[in-house]
């Protein structure tokens, strides 16, 4: 077995942070090498140096034992390196085939025949079992499929080293499973894979080698056989992560939100939420489980005023809304952790501190007579950075410069620290390392203990089972049933996620 | 464009307009040299014509005023994510509004009359921006096309008025009657042509600077422009705010029109200015959307134009050459942030060729 990629003493310094320091790393041909580390440990940055987005400040990169310089992405491609980024880089208005050739520079491609590309894409898709239609538009594809386009892009460029940055963070368990097969297939075709992930089960499942980074430095490299999840977690976080939550006693409940016959139709005319009714009480966490794409996004957006609903009503604080704006939702004490952090939850070009007051700028603390109170804005941000362990050079750092997980933490800190009456959280721990995941789940429980009504929409069943008091299962825009924490049955939830109603199950017993 | 943080002064962004102007002059100089004229000689006369003596300095400043205020108008809508190409039309309608009030003898003090004219211009300019603003914010129309077409509407409408109801009685010229003396903008120095429009411009630039840098309203407007979806997410009524920004933008451009007729001509004349809306865009870009920098950018434009003829007389370099310098400066500002990237690429290519 030979070393296909070796990094020697790589250091990458940004003006205010050192993201990587003396990193040594080696990838064997035909293997999967997992790269682990907390949020902001420097995983993405290191790989960006390999794929030509950044240049290392010092250190060397060897490919097949040859020292190489990688100054830009096309050089990386020439060396057979391809990366699927944490946040996709696809053009939604273009087709799959068009996205695949986008940015490709080969002289003979000056006049491209799109039919040829479509044929090639179809062939590759066949070979790796991607099931992609080259003519489909990106904007019509679910995330899992979009990701396959990203992978296909890389394969099309004949990469032999494939880097996947948190590839499964946005995938459903089924889609993840399919991705694992794809990775196994890639390895069979003599390709080498670097896998960045926060999910240790994936590491144990796929990786041959594991390297753990902490604060930009390598903590160690181990082979999978010689380690286990617990040890890896400890290497990453420096302590045991047990997911052992403290929850307070149940409080007296009062109705906080009542949803009746909610119907949401999307822009293409498809009914995404169908006549949905439920109530949300103070001091509880209502978990909404279900396979992604069953109306989770639409439900959260309707409840927070981000989208209009076409039937039914939402009652907040004794007021019933047939239409609701984001402002009305906000003024009723609703906090919203949105599914899409970069386009919805944050203004990437603004500083961290300004993002912390995006909606709360008007509060006495942050402004008086229409003038921003700069000092207390900075102080507020610094406090939240501390309590949510957000890694950034200062409150003035631009959000764009933060690592993916730290961007997510900015939203969490802002929405939770507001002291909401109702907290609507969609995939709140997506992209967080396990230490931060544990912390955030405990925060959700603490909010509940304080009397907040929490609606947790998540496709991770583990997450919901750990924190929710009641669990609803969403299937094709309807609840298949709502279960109590005390009488949980994983098998039953599984059936409901596949579209079997709770009533039907009970009905079945009646007949028997 | 990117906002800035208070506390950390972003020198690069502030230096950019200066760098752009320098680059424009250098590139222009090279082209002049290629014509066989000593560029220093040409620039000497350009400078002399622009600020060589008191009279020429005043002329430069007079040209600066309308350009600068329209530049601020462009900045105002741009911050909210709307590209207002209609500055010219709003400028003309503002002038029409001011003329309606300014040619009417009113039994009020001069200051009140001037203010009333400006208010009329603000209302006219703002109303004229209402339609494109509404279509953009609420219906998703392309504001660029609409505002551009409305420019023609405004220009032709003004001509129509000046050939009919607003024409000075007893002349064949397409122009209005003179403003009554109480409605004229007073001069800064007695006996000189420089009027108080310059003060209005400077104060307005300062106000906008304060707005974006220190106030919640400015914060919200910039949020809409930077990420409309995130702004809505944060509880903002983005449609209102965009419409508001467009109306204010139109009002500012309208005000510029009023100031021009009240300060310079003393009456509305057909086609009394041309291209001011487009120049405003160029100035906003040259200033890198920074209101204070727009003072510098507008003066640069004003001075170039004013000095152009003396350059032509002395050296034979055509006066329209200054437009090339302007364009070079604006292009420099737009491209300069990308230059480090291009340099890196070129370096990479060199290394590759050596290898
Ligand atoms: N362009 C940049 N400018 C300045 N600092 C940066 C930039 N990109 C990354 N950083 C900093 O480098 C550090 C490492 O970031 P990186 O994105 O590599 O983390 P990561 O390990 O991928 O984390 P995550 O799991 O959250 O994605 C962070 O502290 C981040 O703030
Ligand atoms: Mg990352």
Q: Which DSSP string corresponds to A9-53?
A: EEEEE-SS-EEEEEEEEEEETT-EEEEEE-TTSSHHHHHHHHTTS
pTM here is: 0.88
In sequence order, what are the residues at sequence separation of 6 or more whose Cβ sits closer than 8 angstroms to the Cβ of residue B22? none
Q: Are B152 and B140 in contact (CB under 8 A)?
A: no
Task: Kindly state whether B2 is in contact with chain A, defined as any CB-CB distance less than 8 angstroms.
Answer: yes
| Start-to-end C-alpha separation, chain B | 39
* Minimal Cβ distance to B5: which of A75, A367, A396: A396
Inter-chain contact A372–B216, Cβ cutoff 8 Å? yes
How many other C-beta atoms can be found within 10 angstroms of the C-beta atom of residue A350? 24
Summarize pLDDT for B106-155 with one digit per residue, the tens. Answer: 899 989 999 999 999 999 999 999 999 999 999 999 999 999 999 999 99
What count of CB pairs under 8 Å joins A to B?
87
Q: For ligand 1, say whether the CB of A48 is within 6 Å of any of its atoms.
A: no
Judged by CB atoms closer than 8 Å, whether chains meet at A345 and B345 is answered as: no
Interchain contact A358–B (C-beta under 8 A): yes
Least Cα separation, residue A95 to chain B (angstroms): 24
CB contact under 8 A, B348 and A344: no
Q: Rounded to whole angstroms, how far apart are CA atoms B222 and B12?
A: 20
What residues 207-226 of chain B have any CB closer than 8 A to a CB of chain A? 214-217, 219-220, 223, 226
Among chain B residues, the shortest Cα distance to A329 is held by B235
- Which residues of chain A make contact with B219, given a CB cutoff of 8 A? 354, 361, 372
Show me where the domains of chain B are located: 11-349
Interface of B with A in 234-253 (CB under 8 A): 234-237
Q: How far is B298 from chain A (nearest CA, A)?
A: 27
CATH number of B11-349: 1.10.3470
Backbone angles phi, psi at A30, to 5 degrees: 75, 15
Are the C-beta atoms of residues A1 and A27 closer than 8 Å to each other?
no
Q: Give the span between the Cα atoms of B174 and A468, in whole angstroms.
A: 77
Residues from chain B contacting residue A344 (CB–CB below 8 Å) = 229-230, 233
Q: Show pLDDT as tens, one digit a residue, over chain A (512 residues).
A: 689 999 999 999 998 889 999 999 999 999 999 999 999 999 999 999 999 999 999 999 999 999 999 988 888 988 999 999 877 788 888 889 888 888 776 655 566 778 888 898 899 888 888 888 999 898 888 777 888 898 888 888 888 999 999 888 877 777 888 889 889 988 998 899 999 999 898 999 999 999 999 999 999 999 989 998 888 888 888 888 888 888 888 778 899 999 999 999 988 888 999 999 999 999 999 999 988 889 999 999 999 999 999 999 999 988 999 999 999 999 999 999 999 888 999 999 999 999 999 999 999 999 999 999 999 999 999 999 999 999 999 999 999 999 989 999 999 999 999 999 999 999 999 889 998 999 999 999 999 999 999 999 998 888 999 999 999 999 999 999 999 988 878 888 888 888 888 777 765 444 33
Any atom of ligand 1 within 6 Å of the Cβ of A125: no
Give Cα B145 to chain centroid, integer Å.
19
Q: Is A39 in the pocket of ligand 1 (CB under 6 A)?
A: yes
d(CA B95, CA B98): 5
Q: For chain B, which ranges sit under pLDDT 70? A: 1-10, 344-355
Asked whether A392 lines ligand 1 (CB < 6 A), one says yes
**Distance from the first to the final alpha carbon of chain A:** 61
Say whether residue A359 is in contact with chain B using an 8 A CB cutoff: yes
C-alpha A401 – ligand 1 centre gap (Å): 6
Out of A326, A346, A353, the one facing B235 most closely (by C-beta) is A326
Question: Chain B within 8 Å of A382 (Cβ-Cβ)?
Answer: no
Show the domains of chain A with their CATH numbers: 3-237 (3.40.50.300), 244-333+419-512 (3.40.50.300), 350-418 (no CATH)
CA–CA separation, B216 and B232 (whole Å): 15
Do strands A81-84 and A161-165 pair parallel, antiparallel, or not at all (unpaired)? Answer: parallel
Q: Which residue of A has its CA nearest to B346?
A: A71
Our measurement of the distance from residue B132's CA atom to the centroid of its chain's CA atoms, rounded to an integer in Å, reads: 19
Does residue A23's CB lie within 6 angstroms of at least one atom of ligand 1? no
Residue B169, Cβ neighbours under 10 Å: how many? Answer: 5
> Which ligand 1 atom lies nearest to the CA of residue A213?
21
CB contact under 8 A, B230 and A346: yes
CB contact under 8 A, B223 and A344: no
């Amino acid at each position: 077995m030979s070393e296909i990629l070796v990094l020697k003493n790589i250091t990458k310094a940004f003006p205010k942070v050192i993201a990587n320091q003396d990193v040594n790393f080696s990838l064997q041909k035909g293997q999967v090498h997992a790269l682990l580390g907390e949020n902001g440990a420097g995983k993405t940055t290191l790989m960006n140096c390999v794929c030509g987005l950044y240049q290392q400040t010092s250190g060397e990169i060897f490919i097949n034992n040859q020292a190489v310089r990688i100054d830009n992405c096309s050089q990386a491609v020439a060396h057979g390196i391809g990366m699927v980024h944490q946040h996709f880089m696809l053009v939604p208005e273009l087709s799959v085939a068009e996205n695949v050739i986008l940015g490709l520079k080969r002289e003979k491609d000056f006049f491209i025949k799109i039919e040829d590309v479509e044929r090639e894409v179809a062939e590759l898709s066949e070979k790796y079992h991607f099931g992609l239609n080259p003519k489909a538009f990106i904007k019509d594809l679910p995330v899992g499929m979009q990701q396959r386009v990203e992978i296909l892009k890389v394969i099309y460029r004949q990469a032999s080293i494939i880097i996947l940055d948190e590839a499964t963070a946005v995938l459903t368990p089924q889609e993840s499973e399919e991705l694992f097969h794809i990775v196994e297939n890639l390895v069979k075709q003599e390709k080498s894979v670097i896998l960045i992930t926060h999910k240790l089960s994936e590491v144990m499942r796929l990786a041959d080698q594991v390297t753990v980074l902490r604060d930009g430095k390598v903590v160690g490299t181990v082979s999978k056989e010689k380690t286990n999840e617990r040890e890896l977690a400890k290497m990453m976080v420096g302590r045991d992560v047990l997911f052992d939550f403290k929850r307070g006693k149940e409080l007296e409940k009062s109705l906080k939100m009542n949803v009746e016959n909610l119907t949401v139709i999307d822009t293409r005319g498809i009914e995404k939420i169908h006549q949905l009714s439920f109530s949300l009480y103070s001091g509880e966490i209502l978990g909404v489980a279900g396979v992604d794409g069953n109306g989770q996004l639409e439900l959260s957006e309707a409840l927070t005023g981000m989208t209009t609903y076409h039937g039914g009503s939402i009652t907040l604080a004794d007021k019933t809304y047939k239409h609701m704006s984001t402002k009305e939702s906000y003024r009723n004490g609703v906090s919203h952790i949105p599914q899409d952090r970069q386009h919805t939850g944050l203004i990437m070009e603004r500083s961290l501190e300004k993002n912390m007051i995006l909606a709360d700028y008007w509060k006495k603390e942050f402004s008086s007579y229409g003038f921003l109170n700069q000092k207390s804005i900075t102080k507020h941000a610094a406090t939240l950075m501390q309590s949510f362990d957000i890694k950034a050079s200062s409150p003035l750092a631009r959000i764009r410069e933060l690592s993916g997980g730290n961007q997510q933490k900015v939203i969490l800190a802002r929405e939770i620290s507001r002291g909401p009456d109702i907290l609507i959280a969609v995939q709140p721990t997506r992209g967080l390392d396990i230490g931060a995941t544990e912390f955030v789940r405990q925060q959700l429980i603490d909010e509940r203990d304080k009397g907040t009504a929490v609606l947790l929409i998540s496709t991770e069943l583990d997450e919901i089972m750990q924190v929710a008091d009641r669990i609803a299962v969403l299937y094709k825009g309807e609840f298949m049933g709502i279960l109590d924490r005390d009488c949980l049955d994983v098998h039953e939830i599984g059936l409901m996620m596949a579209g079997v109603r709770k009533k039907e199950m009970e009905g079945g017993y009646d007949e028997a | 464009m990117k906002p800035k943080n208070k506390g950390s002064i972003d020198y690069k962004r502030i230096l950019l307009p200066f760098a752009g102007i320098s680059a424009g002059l250098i590139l222009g100089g090279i082209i002049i040299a290629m014509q066989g004229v000593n560029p220093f000689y040409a620039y000497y006369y350009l400078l002399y014509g622009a600020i060589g003596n008191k009279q020429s300095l005043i002329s430069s400043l007079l040209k600066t005023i309308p350009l600068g205020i329209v530049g601020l108008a462009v900045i105002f809508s741009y911050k909210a994510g709307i590209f207002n190409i209609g500055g010219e039309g709003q400028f003309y309608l503002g002038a029409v509004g001011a003329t309606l009030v300014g040619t009417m003898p009113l039994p009020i003090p001069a200051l009140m009359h001037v203010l009333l004219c400006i208010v009329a211009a603000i209302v006219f300019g703002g109303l004229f921006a209402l339609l494109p603003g509404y279509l953009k914010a609420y219906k998703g129309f392309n504001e660029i096309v609409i505002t551009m077409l409305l420019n023609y509407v405004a220009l032709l409408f003004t001509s129509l008025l000046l050939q009919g109801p607003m024409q000075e009685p007893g002349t064949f010229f397409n122009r209005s009657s003179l403003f009554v003396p109480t409605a004229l903008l007073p001069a800064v120095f007695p006996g000189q042509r420089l009027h108080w429009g310059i003060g209005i411009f400077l104060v307005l630039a300062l106000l906008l600077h304060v707005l974006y840098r220190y106030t919640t309203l400015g914060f919200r407007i910039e949020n809409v422009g930077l990420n409309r979806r995130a702004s809505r997410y944060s509880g903002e009524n983005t449609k209102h705010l965009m419409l508001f920004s467009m109306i204010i933008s139109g009002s500012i451009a309208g005000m510029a029109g009023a100031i021009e007729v009240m300060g310079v001509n003393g009456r509305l004349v057909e086609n009394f200015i041309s291209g001011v809306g487009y120049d405003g865009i160029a100035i906003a870009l040259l200033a890198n959307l920074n209101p204070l920098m727009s003072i510098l950018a507008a003066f640069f434009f004003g001075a170039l134009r004013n000095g152009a003829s003396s350059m032509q007389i002395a050296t034979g370099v055509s006066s329209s050459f200054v437009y090339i310098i302007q364009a070079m400066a604006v292009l420099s500002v737009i491209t300069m942030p990308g230059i480090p990237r291009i340099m890196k690429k070129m370096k990479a290519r060199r290394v590759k060729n050596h290898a």
